[in-house]
């Protein structure tokens, strides 16, 4: 394997750039602060990143088909409010969980209907549901904070441990593993990549474009509802504006993970790494004394750099592959065939040229068998 081929193979490794950036950030903040690489800080970092990880996973499905969902943040806040209100009104905690996830289902169905069935622009629809969800949260909370759930089982969803690992993180990892398997190992997942890559070709191959689009927005809503349930358990309170900004963090995590905004490329685990990178930046900047207000600036700059780097990497890989293809084509049409002919037994036979009449010649002997 040539050096060029090795370089192309390394550049093509799934998720390598963001994984390298995550390691570099962790090394930098470990050197900059003695408190970064401690058990308590890592635990807090993982717990706080759970919600963005989940939303980024749902966003991955949406982005793969070429869509976008701006409503996941407000859906998360609204689902958290519905969960707490249901339990506070005397319902068992499982009913509260169903209420929270059901809220996400409703939002997902609304988004899917207007985007997939009525063919309205996804940006417009989800921007509208973002506003509606934020307004509904204000109405439900009456502008005040909801708090006071005393169900130990419900609170243990995020405050408990399984083999020393936070329960919320275990739940999140199970969901992530399931979503990754569905995306990469099932016909449904492959159909989503086909829709995002070439909708016309996918349609001609028998894939229902509307069904695929509807399903990803429904799934995104369900995931946002689940994130809202975990957020309610984690905070045990809901205030107006809860969930604002989560949609941007989810999109940022997916983009940093190399998910193509144009659709057709991505994986859930890459979004997970992107979310961990954002959490590492946030936690690290606070530990080194940087004003938290700078985090949004750093996040925005990271997105621009990530998109530019991803685009440059894709152009590099495409260029190198074209160069390798031209080289192989030259070898086949040039010296490659000549070398093969020299190795052929027929090449050892003498070639006799005899007159065949009127200026034409006939090639005889072993050469005819080549």
Q: Residue 362: what pLDDT?
A: 39
Number of domains in the chain: 2
Q: Residue 353: what pLDDT?
A: 42
pTM of the entire predicted model: 0.82
Q: Which domain holds residue 351?
A: 334-369
Residue 212 lies in a domain: yes
Domain check: are 64 and 211 in the same one? yes
Q: Residue 364: what pLDDT?
A: 38
Domain check: are 150 and 23 in the same one? yes
Residue 325 lies in a domain: no
Q: Residue 298: what pLDDT?
A: 79
25 in Cβ contact with 281 (< 8 Å): yes
Block means of pLDDT (10 residues each) for the chain, length 370 residues?
A: 53 68 91 90 91 96 96 96 92 95 98 97 97 93 80 87 89 96 95 94 93 97 97 91 91 88 88 93 88 80 76 72 73 54 47 42 38
Domain check: are 252 and 156 in the same one? yes
Residue 143 lies in a domain: yes
Q: Residue 4: what pLDDT?
A: 52
Torsion over CA: 183, 184, 189, 195 (sign): positive
Residue 317 lies in a domain: no
For the chain, what is the radius of gyration of the CA atoms?
A: 28
Q: Residue 14: what pLDDT?
A: 59
CATH number at residue 22: 1.10.3470
Cα 65 from Cα 143, distance rounded (Å): 37
For the purposes of burial, counting CB atoms within 10 Å of the CB of 120, is it exposed (0-12), middle (13-18) or buried (19 or more)?
Answer: middle
Domain final position from 271, 298, 325: 298
Residue 323 lies in a domain: no
Residues facing residue 362 across a β-bridge = 354
Cα 196 from Cα 62, distance rounded (Å): 9
Q: Residue 117: what pLDDT?
A: 96
Domain check: are 261 and 343 in the same one? no
Q: Residue 206: what pLDDT?
A: 92
Domain check: are 343 and 294 in the same one? no
Domain check: are 76 and 223 in the same one? yes
């Amino acid at each position: 394997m040539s050096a060029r081929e090795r370089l192309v193979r390394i550049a093509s490794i799934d998720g390598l750039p963001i994984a390298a950036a995550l390691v570099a950030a962790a090394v930098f903040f470990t050197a900059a602060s003695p408190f970064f690489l401690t058990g308590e800080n890592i635990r807090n970092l993982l717990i706080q990143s759970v919600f963005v990880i989940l939303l980024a996973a749902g966003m991955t499905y949406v982005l793969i088909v070429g869509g976008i969902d701006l409503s996941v943040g407000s859906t998360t806040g609204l689902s958290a409010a519905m969960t707490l209100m249901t339990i506070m009104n005397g319902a068992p905690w499982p009913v509260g969980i169903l209420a929270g996830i059901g809220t996400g289902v409703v939002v997902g169905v609304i988004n899917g209907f207007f985007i997939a069935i009525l063919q309205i622009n996804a940006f417009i629809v989800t921007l509208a549901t973002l506003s509606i969800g934020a307004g509904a949260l204000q109405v439900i909370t009456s502008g005040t904070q909801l708090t006071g759930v005393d169900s130990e089982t419900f609170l243990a969803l995020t405050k408990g441990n399984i083999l020393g690992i936070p329960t919320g993180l275990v739940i999140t990892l199970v969901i992530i593993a399931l979503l990754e398997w569905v995306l990469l190992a099932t016909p449904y997942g492959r159909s989503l990549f086909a829709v995002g890559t070439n909708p016309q070709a996918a349609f001609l191959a028998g894939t229902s474009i509307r069904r695929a689009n509807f399903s990803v927005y429904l799934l995104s809503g369900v995931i946002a509802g689940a994130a809202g349930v975990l957020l309610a358990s984690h905070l045990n309170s809901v205030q107006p504006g809860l969930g604002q900004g989560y949609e941007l963090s989810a999109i940022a995590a997916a983009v940093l993970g190399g998910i193509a905004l144009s659709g057709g490329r991505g994986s859930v685990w890459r979004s997970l790494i992107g979310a961990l990178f954002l959490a590492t930046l946030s936690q690290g900047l606070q530990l080194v004394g940087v004003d938290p207000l700078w985090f949004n600036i750093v996040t925005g700059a990271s997105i621009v750099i990530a998109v530019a780097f991803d685009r440059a990497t894709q152009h590099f890989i495409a260029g190198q592959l074209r160069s390798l293809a031209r080289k192989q084509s030259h070898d086949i049409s040039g010296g490659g065939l000549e070398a093969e002919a020299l190795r052929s037994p027929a090449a050892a036979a003498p070639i006799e040229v005899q007159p065949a009449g009127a200026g034409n010649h006939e090639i005889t002997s072993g050469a005819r068998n080549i």
